[in-house]
Copies of this chain bind each other. A is one copy, B any other.
């Protein structure tokens, strides 16, 4: 198969429109790329960056219940793909606004994870919710502020988000917010259990 649809890839050359796209190692490169045999254009595909926030209001954390796939119906922190021309902090702020109509002030970087099996990198920032009047955006069914005790642990959409919430409450309990960086892997293709390799500094 020439492409992995989940991670991008092309049927036709986006430069010249030819269907003559091969998957091979271009001269001087070390890995296979989609290369146009007519014009020589290489269709690079790269990992995507997800920016998100941990918005907090009076010790409570803002979560959004997803209206869209993947994981529709489950809870997550506001986060989404970084756009061209944006900083990660701007992306995190925009996602809180789009998903929860939440006005947040972005603070320190809190977590940076690689999720290689889906070719994504997550950057999550601590954030101060400036106004408690939040409301679901188009991609959320519901938004709400949760105390630590009320977090719906069994209904969290993504391992990266559950792990971040765990670390956040652990740090808060210890009285010091660390920075967490590392990888979230899958046990195997058959077993989707998440494996966390995270350094907390």
**Please, which residues of chain B bring their CB within 8 A of the CB of A190?**
none
CB A119 to nearest CB in B, in angstroms, measures 5
* Size bracket, chain A contacts: 35 or more
Is there a chain B Cβ closer than 8 Å to A116's Cβ?
Answer: yes
Q: Within 8 Å CB of A112, what residues of B?
A: 88, 109, 112, 123
Residue interface mask A68-92, B partner, CB < 8 A = 1: 0000000000000111111111100
State whether A117 and B179 are in contact (beta carbons under 8 Å apart), knowing that A15-B11, A17-B17 are contacts in the complex.
Answer: no
A12 in contact with B13 given A83-B31, A87-B116, A109-B181 (CB within 8 Å) = yes
Q: List 16 A-B contacts (CB under 8 A).
A: A10-B14, A11-B14, A11-B15, A12-B15, A13-B14, A17-B18, A46-B46, A46-B48, A46-B82, A82-B121, A85-B117, A86-B119, A109-B201, A121-B121, A121-B123, A179-B201
